[in-house]
Structure 1
Amino acid sequence: MSFTPPAARLTVRSVPVFRGRIGSDARSGHYAVPRRYRLHLSAADPDGLRIAVTHSLLGLERACPVTFLPAVPDCPDGGHSALRPLYDASAHHYTGPAVAPVLSDDWSGRIVSTHGPDIARDLARRFGGGRTALYPCGAESEIDAVERMCAQGIERAAQRAGTAGTGDEERAAALDTLLHTLGVLDQGLRVQPYLIGDQITAADVELWVALVQLDTVHRHHLDASAVQRIAGHPALWAHARRLAAHPAFGAHLDLDGIARRHHARCQGLEAAGAAVQILDWAAHIAPAP
């Protein structure tokens, strides 16, 4: 399946403070050694949820332990106090918020990366072994395209479509971008079970997290008509529902945490779309084994 991302160029993801990479040998500095690294994640945060699902799909519970953080950061600047020692050890006189996600090096007590996409790729490439091929050879450009579509055509477009105080034309244009993106993805899922090929890849993880955010966060600021049009992509939402039933996805879906994080951060006005839930996510989450 081939993807052409919409024309939008803005992204909703923040610029990472640290962007080290795990390499394949000692010359990289951070080379791949089981149990050397640790993840610090909040599953209520979209980046944290992406990495948590990726980590579970790869079966890396022993190779790379995870410390899960509260849904709502406990510092006034939006950071986590539990991460402050890592930030202080990794950057001299660091004054910004100690935010997640974080991949840390237990050997040095310092941060390797705070860049979600890099962390997910390094986990898959350096520790994935013969497990699920989330980044199949030859599919990198398609996965990159899906990432851009989700960040710009879904997350950013939905945010702009629901922003109070902007003009009607700007909100309408953002909604058109959102619906166009959903339509492209829905069309692809009508002819094959996953976005790329016949197995779960990183593209499906990206899309699933974007749809979770769309239904649990962004729709609260859209009108009911817009939400009904968003819901009118049956293949897309069937895909989201099917993945929610997969233990690697559903086990990390903290609906209460997402709601608390949203209410703690949100400064927008609630609209009629808040009452039009697209999926009953809790009903489709796989029970714990």
Structure 2
Amino acid sequence: MADDQYSTKGAYVSGGAEFTRDTNYIPTRITRDGRDGYPVEAGRYRLIAARACPWANRTLIVRRLLGLEDAISLGLCGPTHDVRSWTFDLDPGGVDPVLGYERLQQAYFARFPDYPKGITVPALVDIPTKAVVTNDYPQITLDFSTEWVEHHRAGAPDLYPEPLRDEIDAVSKRVFTEVNNGVYRCGFAGSQEAYDSAYDRLFTALDWLSDRLADQRYLVGDTITEADVRLFTTLARFDAVYHGHFKCNRQKLAEMPVLWAYARDLFQTPGFGDTTDFTQIKRHYYVVHTDINPTQIVPNGPDLSNWLTSHGREQLGGRPFGDGTPPGPPQPAEVVPAEDWVPVG
């Protein structure tokens, strides 16, 4: 790990306090009309992500489902970081080959020299200036769907269909507040009271989702939408990390029949499981969060091979890609190693 002065110890849990996420991100958008100074342009921008991060994993899924790999290049940070920044330690020499940076922090400082907030993934970087454009992860995936249409692959699904946007937004809001962020409120709670409240809210929402998905294959409509992408990345991490590390332990995902089948259905859909790296996920949470795992020991379990077992959700109908088609295989440079994808405990 990093030197003590850059340790993440004390960075996540505040004694006696409820965990509160800072949701103020760089609001700049990349749009067709370029109104913020950054027009849609194939090859101009680089998506910086980390497979370990659920917020970044969303962008990897949507980019792949829509076929934006040739239009938006990808830089991947390693699963661990210090208090300063995510780093490019997966690349030769620890340097991103396009930006020439060792740390994502450098792209933030290229635009905002005194940037005072956390250096987060995902981030879109303007390659000509090597400066960050935005780290507003909820908007990034929506803009991939709506602003980058001319660069979508043939057969790309509509992940944000206009007639369903109000419902997608409403479902996504509850999923974020109660589930995506709810697991963090449990894990980073600074008091028993804060933890108890977060725990109750989380499982109330998971029960609501179980009821909603009992008779329908997807969260909104009969196809995969943005709402499913947002829920999936939390479910994929639930048994590997959140159940134990974050004390979200009323049940494992594998003990919630509807959500477990739903998650496996998505995992086995091209674009979801093949962007998931369980090894990096576990290493990130257990090594970086020294507040709650000071030994930094990464557990060997659970056995994750059951993600490939039959889910039976086809009987509910639905058309995963609507009138579109599945994406082809991942680009060779972006393939998750098999032992990281469905490792056997």
TM-score normalised to structure 1 length: 0.81
- Once residues 221 and 197 of structure 2 are traced to their aligned partners in structure 1, the CA distance between those partners, rounded to angstroms, is 32
Unaligned runs of 5+ in 1: 1-9
Counterpart among 211, 215, 219 of residue 187 in structure 1: 211
Q: 1:54 aligns with which of 62, 67, 76?
A: 62
Offset of residue 146 of structure 1: 2.7
Q: Is 1:144 matched with 2:169?
A: yes
How far the C-alpha of 1:25 sits from its partner, in A, is 1.7
User: Is 2:103 the counterpart of 1:79?
Assistant: no
Given that residues 12 and 155 in structure 1 are in contact (C-alpha distance below 8 angstroms), is that contact kept between their aligned partners in structure 2? no
Find the partner of 1:220 among 244, 251, 276: 244
Q: 1:231 to 1:153 in 2, by over 3 A?
A: farther
Asked whether the 8 Å contact 1:43–1:71 carries over to 2, the reply is: yes
Matches within 5 A, 1:124-163: 124-129=145-150, 131-162=156-187
CA distance in 2, matches of 1:231, 1:31: 44
CA contact (8 A) 1:16 1:114 kept: no
Classify the secondary structure of the residue corresponding to 2:47: strand
Number of aligned residue pairs: give it.
272
Give 1:7's aligned residue. none
Assess, with a 3 A threshold, how the Cα gap between structure 1 residues 83 and 159 changes in structure 2: closer, same or farther. closer
| Secondary structure of the corresponding residue to residue 138 of structure 1 | helix
The one-letter amino acid of 2:267's match is A
Which of 125, 148, 163 is the equivalent residue of 1:104?
125
1:199 aligns with 2:220: no
Go from structure 1 to structure 2 and tell me whether the alpha carbon gap of 1:173 and 1:14 turns closer, same or farther (over 3 Å shift). closer
Equivalent residue for 1:260?
283
Percent same amino acid at aligned positions?
A: 30
Give the alignment's Cα RMSD to 1 decimal: 3.1
Quickly say closer, same or farther: Cα 1:159–1:96, change in 2 above 3 A.
closer
Letter of the aligned partner of 2:114 in structure 1?
H
Q: Deviations over 1:73-127 (max 9, x none)?
A: 2x44243343233122111333655432110122333211011011111111111
AA in 2 matched with 1:90 = R
Task: Tell me what 1:6 maps to.
Answer: none
- Stretches of structure 2 lacking an aligned partner (at least 5 in a row): 1-17, 88-101, 310-328, 331-345
Shift of 1:251: 1.4
Q: CA, structure 1 residues 276+226, in 2 after alignment: closer, same or farther (shift >3 Å)?
A: farther
Which runs of 4 or more aligned residues in structure 1 lie more than 6 Å from their structure 2 counterparts after TM superposition?
222-225
> Partner of 1:237 in structure 2?
260
Does the CA-based 8 Å contact 2:286-2:293 persist in structure 1?
no
CA contact (8 A) 2:49 2:123 kept: yes
- The alignment's TM-score, normalised by the length of structure 2, stands at 0.69
In structure 1, distance between residues paired with 2:75 and 2:293: 33
Residues 1:63 and 2:71 aligned together = yes
Aligned equivalents of 1:164, 1:21: Cα separation in 2? 33
| Aligned position for 2:273 | 250
Larger CA deviation: 158-167 vs 179-188? 158-167
Contact 1:162 1:222 in 2 (8 A): yes
Secondary structure class of the residue paired with 2:125: strand
